[in-house]
Amino acid sequence: MNRHVLISIIILFQSFALCFSNNSDLSLTIDEIRWLNENRENISFTPDPNWMPVDFVDSKGVHKGIVAELVKIIEKKLDLSFNLLYFNAWADGLHGMRNSEVDFMGSVQRTGERESFLNFTDPYIIIPTVILVRKNYSDEINSKQINKMLLAGVRDYAHVEYVNKTYPEAEIIEYDDNLIALMQASLGNTDGVIIDLMSASALIEKYNITNLNIGTTLEYSLELRFASRKDLPELNSILQKTLADIDESQKQEIIRNWVNIQILGSGSFLSRNFKYFIIAGILLLVITILILLISLSLKKQVYARTLELNNEVEQKNLALERAAESDKLKTAFLNNLSHEIRTPMNGIVGFSTLLRNKKITGEQIDQYTRIIDASAYQLLNIVDDILEMAHIESNQVSIHKQQFDLQSFLNSIYNQYKYQVKEKNLEFILSIPESPIFSLYTDKTKLGVIISKLIDNSLKFTPKGKIEFGYEVSGEFLKFFVEDTGIGVTNEMHERLFDRFYKIESMDSQFFGGSGLGLPISKGFTELLGGKIWFESNAEMGSVFFFTIPISEYTQIPGNDKRITQGEKQHPAKYDFSNLSILIAEDDEYNQFYLQEIFTRTNARIIMAANGQEAIDSIKSNPDIRIAVLDIKMPVMDGLKAARIIKGKYASLPLIAQTAYTQQHEKDAIFEAGFNDYISKPIDKKELFRLIKTHIN
């Protein structure tokens, strides 16, 4: 699940600026302009010297980090240069603010005590805080344990003060910066360290600290703001307006750059603490992604509509009515999505807690584990839908066409869904022309998403009968269809069914569930591929969804177009890999354990390697290895480099990449390195077995 963890963390931090933007321009009052002119040569600023990557001073004495980038933009907008004052520790800088030695700081948490001598801007980033402990703590620590611990923290940091007040019996030793505090816990001098999640990830990866995990996520987040002295109200107002005037995309880029630099390399730390990252950030992640989605779509629509209808009263009233309706739909969407997120989260957190009960039976363990798995996949699907819709709305989706066998492609979709359909006692049919198309040239991934979303929709609303999907040739287009015998669509819903959020108002979302984004995503992808999408339906009569894509000059069409059908006659594949030696290269110990476990009943001989170099050495010393499954991101030597070396010496050895990367250029890099295929994380064992069987044959 590394792919989704990384995506979640990046989006989590880069989207916070949207929560607090007001889209105002830089309109200073006369008093603010006068104050600025009188003091422009004497305004002083002090950074936090040691808070990587938020705010820090490097070894050459250069101010860097997210705050440094924002300060540079503020200086440019105000046409001045601040006087930088450096202190040895952040607490010393705060003391300088209290004593009027410095005018403002850029990374301050608002507290009641600080409000007595500081003014604050709106926050520009929010960061969860945690307690890290050594690996000998096997379970999440609780309040009772915290009260007995010796903890390290940074002097005068707000989250350290929070722990001090919330857990008064805990003993806290304060240091000047996060790295020193972190090392105390790593070396065993303290039981744990109080730290924010961003700094923890950056420092752990930079200094290769491998013996710390998250003990607990605190119910306290850092809302970082610019702060100025209480006796300088004009300065605070100027800072607030200037920050609000910075373009949101520019803010996001700054945060994204520093998060990428410091955190993207943190696979091992993220893997070890997956559930804590999810619990700490998922609700905030959803809210910020939704605000991004809404900002990129509805704001543009409302703004454009207002300009067009300025001089026409009747149309202006219509625009206001539609805006009010959009607000209503957005509210319903947010409420529904909150419910959709909390439902699988309750399953994950709740049943994870129940698994700790030492008295549970094997049957209960199996049941709880299946519920956790299902809840996790449900949660991943919701987050994927939100991200997909955001990319479509912001025009960040690219088309990557390729030649592929259409029949095999549709068969794989059929096999993917046939067991789900069978569980609902429905008939499942794949309908193809009598003379099927040999190959198709289009974006295979997006075509698969469209068909899958439409089948998902039919599964959701079809209690009995059948689901049928397939295609036929229609002039210069291929016309795909998904037909069901479900509840159908009422006439009043026909015009709005593909609109975002409309499902929330029109259907009983508590009964049917879902984010309401499946059909809008299908519509967006269909139009990107150069086609159109529509449906035919009546209430209680079922529905047929159609969509077209252009037939390219590379598409091979035999001619005849009579339909034949493929019903559910296939049986689950059973995999016996007796006498087959398989190399698996994976650095994470939990993933190693999982991969070994899924092969226990296949009779395969599994050879494990922890990095790319070990994989190469294992192939040299085990000439009977028939296929290798390599992780892309590994220490010592990554999977891409290892694949190039292996293919240079053992060209016929099939290689399968296991990866959390999802962007097209990343997939291209996998094939360019010599891999024969890839499987995305989280790894589905049936898909992995299918790929192995395909390539060894």
SS3 string, 594-654, reads: HHHHHCCCCCCEEEEECCHHHHHHHHHHCCCEEEEEEECCCCCCCHHHHHHHHHHHCCCCC
Per-residue pLDDT, 627? 95
Per-residue pLDDT, 643? 94
Where residue 170 falls among pLDDT bands split at 50, 70, 90? Answer: very high
Q: Where in the chain is the domain with CATH 1.10.287.130?
A: 280-393
Per-residue pLDDT, 94? 92
Q: Round the average pLDDT of the chain to a whole number and report it.
A: 79
φ, ψ of residue 500 to 5 degrees: the values are -60, 140
Provide the CATH number for the domain formed by 402-566 in this structure.
3.30.565.10
φ, ψ of residue 173 to 5 degrees: the values are -105, 125
Going 582 to 586 to 589 to 590, the CA torsion angle's sign is negative
* CATH class of the structural domain 2-125+222-265: alpha beta
pLDDT per residue as tens digits for the range 174-195: 998 899 999 999 999 999 999 9
Q: Where in the chain is the domain with CATH 3.40.50.2300?
A: 581-696
Q: Is the pLDDT of residue 514 over 90?
A: no
pLDDT per residue as tens digits for the range 3-13: 344 334 444 44
Q: Bigger pLDDT: 663 or 398?
A: 398
CATH 3.40.190.90 for domain 126-220: no
* CATH class of the structural domain 581-696: alpha beta
CA distance 504 to 331: 10
Where residue 427 falls among pLDDT bands split at 50, 70, 90? Answer: very high
Per-residue pLDDT, 315? 61
How distant, in Å, are the alpha carbons of 14, 120, 227 from that of 115? 27, 8, 10
Q: Where in the chain is the domain with CATH 3.30.565.10?
A: 402-566
Q: Is the pLDDT of residue 225 over 70?
A: yes
pLDDT per residue as tens digits for the range 529-585: 999 999 998 777 789 999 999 987 666 655 444 444 555 444 445 678 888 999 999
Q: Where in the chain is the domain with CATH 3.40.190.10?
A: 2-125+222-265, 126-220
Where residue 309 falls among pLDDT bands split at 50, 70, 90? Answer: low
CATH 1.10.287.130 for domain 280-393: yes
